[in-house]
Chain A
């Protein structure tokens, strides 16, 4: 039975790998669609045809697209991400510090959102049908239905404009003390936490409710177990797999959120870098950022899949 699990997990990993190749293919060719010749764009309209031809040759632009794709892939694997068009700095250098910033933001958010969402989700399921449950459900539906930037604007309105606890829309690099750190990160983290938690609460609640509907839980109810005992002792161990799965899935929503939040709060992370790269059409930078995000997303999705397999006792 053990071999079956390993082979399923390996299968998942393989699928993720194939998907990554297809994704990189899509990213490369989407950016290759760009109208206009890259060499002309780089050198400007006034460049001589000879100069353009020279640059085309230097950048291997005359090669067929598939050759350029393979060369780009080979570079990626070796850690060579190319050079930014906009300022001639190597993409790896541009991204390094930014990636750490984004990971910091994501890590902080996850460490707050996961415990918060699990508590709310499980308790909502525990007291299903009560006023508390209804409030949590309606609030999460509301949050999921609005764009992330609206959560961010409302957070700014509440905490910076009316309560005046935090600075609005500013990110300072002068972080001297722990207090400064808290103030700088508070707003982006609060915004992201609200968005991610809403997803997670919904899924956690659904997972626990589903387990609560099974006959063995009804049996426990009939023998006289209390509500908390019913949920924590009887239902939760079986709902654990789906819950961890939902946590991994919800964390992938961080990606969408991080793009908006970094922009609105002017946070120096990879997502902001990418949005700026899109406005300047800096292709190597866009490609690399896109690949980083896809890699993160696929890792989370695959982790969710594998956890779902591992948590199923019938497969273990």
Chain B
């Protein structure tokens, strides 16, 4: 995705060049974020209210995206679903990346047995396929919303760890690290003030990618009926609820899927079009 870069005014101020695709992707992501925050105030119909006499109704002026299997407004349900999809994924990705990056930097700086044990253990966890892992954990602790957040963050911590450790190991060999060690700085200072600023860009890009994985996994789980449980519904659960409308090509099945796709594709596009300066700093 290398489109000719047009310097956005916003970009110039920060000293970075954003291109058009990146900016539009960012706009759509922010739009979904806004929807998630303000959903209860902007939905045209209440999510539980049956507003259509027919089920799997077509798109109309009143019901923009048609009605679902009970005759509820699917547009409102998607807007509310944004809260669960974005909220749970954001919480999970924050926890996963925070713990993964913190552990990764610690392992890289401390080295020795701590590094070996952490790496071996987390690599083993990393080699369990994510969907399978989530099925096992959901079977064990159920699928309440806090349990889902915990499950998703545990599954994606090893990946974040591996990524951050690889970057931190490179930084760790720099001269300024030697100087800082000789100055007698402790582990917390080394991590927070010397390593972190130097790996922040790639780590944030990685966070975005991991967010996409988590959205996909959460939607997949909800689609299997093992994720977000009724009466709440995220986008995956909306597809599951309305899968019966598939043979009629009901909009109630299509639009929740499109909502997921718009979010994940935009995050991917944004990361692909990030200014090279942010994305690749010290990544090589």
Interface size on B, residues (CB 8 A): 45
Q: For residue B236, which residues in chain A have a CB less than 8 angstroms away from its CB? A: 147, 149
Say whether B247 contacts A161, CB under 8 Å: yes
Q: For residue B138, which residues in chain A have a CB less than 8 angstroms away from its CB? A: 278
Say whether B127 contacts A298, CB under 8 Å: yes
A294 to B127, CA, bound (A): 8
Say whether A145 contacts B139, CB under 8 Å: no
Q: For residue A14, which residues in chain B have a CB less than 8 angstroms away from its CB? A: none
A281 to B123, CA, bound (A): 28
Q: For residue A275, which residues in chain B have a CB less than 8 angstroms away from its CB? A: 135, 224, 226
Which of A138, A147, A156, A169 is in CB contact (< 8 Å) with B223?
A147
Q: Sort chain A's interface into a size bin.
A: 35 or more
Q: Which of A5-13, A26-34, A70-78, A208-216 touches B?
A: A26-34
Say whether B225 contacts A279, CB under 8 Å: yes
Say whether A22 contacts B265, CB under 8 Å: no
Q: For residue A286, which residues in chain B have a CB less than 8 angstroms away from its CB? A: 135-136, 139
The answer, yes or no, to whether A260 is at the interface (CB within 8 Å) is yes
Q: For residue B254, which residues in chain A have a CB less than 8 angstroms away from its CB? A: 153, 157
Closest to A293 in B: B132
The answer, yes or no, to whether B212 is at the interface (CB within 8 Å) is yes
A153 to B257, CA, bound (A): 9
Say whether B249 contacts A157, CB under 8 Å: yes
A165 to B257, CA, bound (A): 23
The answer, yes or no, to whether B174 is at the interface (CB within 8 Å) is no
Q: For residue A154, which residues in chain B have a CB less than 8 angstroms away from its CB? A: 257
The answer, yes or no, to whether B264 is at the interface (CB within 8 Å) is yes
The answer, yes or no, to whether A162 is at the interface (CB within 8 Å) is yes
Which of A32, A145, A260 is in CB contact (< 8 Å) with B220?
A260
B237-277 residues at the A interface, CB under 8 angstroms = 239, 243, 246-249, 253-254, 257, 260-261, 264-265, 267-268, 272
The answer, yes or no, to whether A160 is at the interface (CB within 8 Å) is yes
The 5 A-B pairs with the shortest beta carbon distances in the complex, nearest first, are: A22-B124, A145-B264, A150-B257, A278-B139, A256-B131
Interface positions of B (Cβ within 8 A of A): 1, 120-121, 123-125, 127-132, 135-142, 212, 216, 219-220, 223-226, 236, 239, 243, 246-249, 253-254, 257, 260-261, 264-265, 267-268, 272
Interface positions of A (Cβ within 8 A of B): 18-19, 22-23, 26-27, 30-35, 137-138, 141-142, 144-150, 153-154, 156-157, 160-162, 168-169, 252, 255-256, 259-260, 263-264, 274-275, 277-279, 281, 283, 286, 290, 293-294, 297-298, 301
